[in-house]
Chains A and B, each alone.
Chain A
């Protein structure tokens, strides 16, 4: 029957992380890095994990979300803090929605590898539209710190870029988990699993595969947009096209999903934890070499553990009393 108990495991992990971050000196920064990567994995998982389609343009959605927030705070500062923030979230969602409807509407007509090829240009395309069209400041980006300090005061700005940004990201991360759990237990989830395994058979079983893929894609993209708005714009108080369209985030998200277990609830959490901690300490130990280490890691995972850590654990737990808690 429907099983929401894995959410207990999920919330427990967040509780422990937040407790460690708040309780132990110097741990808040690495914990927030972990949560960022969990969120990034969680949002991608809703599409890649559940449909088996690869979206190489993933980071572009974080990028447009970041721009949505930056445009609201930077260009509509006069509305006042709360309205501008609200507008920021709305714009982040709206931009992500529009991009995902357009990209999905076109590219999701294509199957498997053809879809992936079509998305190769999305990130570059949007980046160069902003750069080439000199939109939203073009290559100079949008720098908010001065504007925010002047309009709302230094204290408020600090609150925004620390407490509010972090809390916002945590909410988005947990929300992604809850949505994932809901999808896994719903008709949508069953439909997605079916189409991931055999798209033609799924059609014959009565599943409107185009629509289901599109729904998963849009949800995944909107969550990505919200991550961009909180973890980047609010936290860093600036947006540059070169930063927010950096392809390494797409790679990292894919690694996290595959490492943890595609299509599972806890996969991105475990994948994000392992990855972010690895990255945090590798960056200290081997600066500038994360991708060099990650790429072979991804290959090894694909070759040897295609189900990822949680996929493996879920199988091992089958028939034991832990079964209910792992998914």
Chain B
């Protein structure tokens, strides 16, 4: 029965990791939903968040949960700067232009980071004990990541539903022109949404570090870009909530299939899981480009 136990504990782990995946995809979906811009440089911003967590911990011993606040502030500032310098001019340009620009921005951030932080893998470990559940020992750090993801997603949700500006953002998602005629300053909504989208992404990078003890590297984002797109597409691409739920599902599928692929002799399950991610991405887009969960 060792296999079943392993599968169950991997699925548990998948659900926990999935919450972080979900959070890490909300920014991507928010930006696409509001601005119709595809942030193909997404992973680079996760990497920035990961380094914020790393340096805060290494230099000042600040635990990642506190770094979350710094991360969202830094992320929103970066997002605003990118919006003002580049994205603003591309909102109405052909898709090709904004796709390539976001791609280039992602690469620029990675290369810039490499100049300051080097290309080596680094990591830190924040040990605060754990609890035993479902055949496995779950560290508190991961449970905290799980809880923070849900709390943050809920805060964003409430902000969208209850505040005036959140409602304005939703109005723009639903009907750009209509929103303009209602007196909403669409440009400000764009700036805010882009900035918040990047902020959330950087923030999620902090939580990602709780799952990759020695996996912090300037090129770590590529993997998350791919995952984020699979998740975003599962969730309907334009819906942050769809993305959050889809994150859970993806976490479960990923860890479940990892365990199952491990049964096949002569293959390397980690690599094949990534291969399957790209197949899933393409197939989901093919079958239902509006997302399996229907979006909003």
Contacts and interface: CB of A to CB of B under 8 A. Distances in A.
Nearest to B94: A52
Interface string A224-258: 00000000000000000000000100010010001
A134 B261 CA distance: 13
14 contacts: A54-B99, A54-B100, A113-B38, A118-B286, A121-B230, A121-B278, A121-B281, A124-B275, A125-B275, A129-B271, A132-B275, A295-B107, A295-B111, A298-B101
A16 B134 CA distance: 71
A295 B104 contact: yes
Given A117-B285, A291-B107, A124 B267 contact: no
Category for how many chain A residues contact B? 35 or more
Given A106-B282, A131-B268, A121 B86 contact: no
A122 B286 contact: no
Nearest to A109: B286
B160 interface: no
Interface string A292-319: 1011101100110010000000000000
B48 to A, nearest CB: 15
Contacts of B108: 291-292, 295-296, 299
B263 to A, nearest CB: 14
B79 to A, nearest CB: 16
Contacts of B269: 132
Interface stretch (B166-174, B221-229, B241-249): B221-229
B99 A125 contact: no
Nearest to B271: A132
A157 B77 CA distance: 56
B27 to A, nearest CB: 16
A120 interface: yes
Interface of B: 36, 38, 40, 86, 89-90, 93-97, 99-101, 103-105, 107-108, 110-112, 114-115, 222-223, 225-226, 229-230, 233, 266-275, 277-279, 281-283, 285-286, 289
Contacts of B107: 251, 291, 294-295
Given A117-B281, A298-B104, A54 B96 contact: yes
A11 interface: no
Interface of A: 48, 52, 54, 56, 103, 106-107, 109-110, 112-114, 116-118, 120-122, 124-126, 128-129, 131-134, 138, 247, 251, 254, 258, 262, 288-289, 291-292, 294-296, 298-299, 302-303, 306
Contact of B111 (A56, A120, A138, A289): A289
A303 B283 contact: no
A106 B286 contact: yes
Contacts of B40: 56, 116-117, 120
A121 B40 CA distance: 11
Given A121-B278, A125-B279, A116 B99 contact: yes
Nearest to B261: A132
A284 to B, nearest CB: 18
Nearest to B82: A299
Given A54-B96, A120-B229, 11 more contacts: A52-B95, A52-B96, A110-B286, A114-B289, A117-B38, A129-B271, A132-B267, A134-B267, A291-B108, A298-B103, A306-B97
A110 B232 CA distance: 16
B281 A118 contact: yes
A128 B289 contact: no
B88 to A, nearest CB: 10
Contacts of B115: 289, 292
Contacts of A124: 222-223, 226, 274-275, 277-278
Contacts of B103: 56, 251, 254, 298
B175 to A, nearest CB: 20
Contacts of A113: 36, 38, 95, 99
Nearest 5 pairs between A and B by C-beta? Answer: A132-B271, A121-B278, A125-B278, A132-B272, A295-B108
A226 B101 CA distance: 29
A119 to B, nearest CB: 8
* Residue of A56, A112, A124, A138 with most chain B CB atoms under a 10 A cut-off: A124
Given A107-B285, A120-B229, A125-B279, A258 B100 contact: yes
B268 A118 contact: no
B289 A110 contact: yes
A109 B171 CA distance: 30
Given A112-B95, A120-B226, A298-B104, A128 B274 contact: yes
A299 B100 CA distance: 8
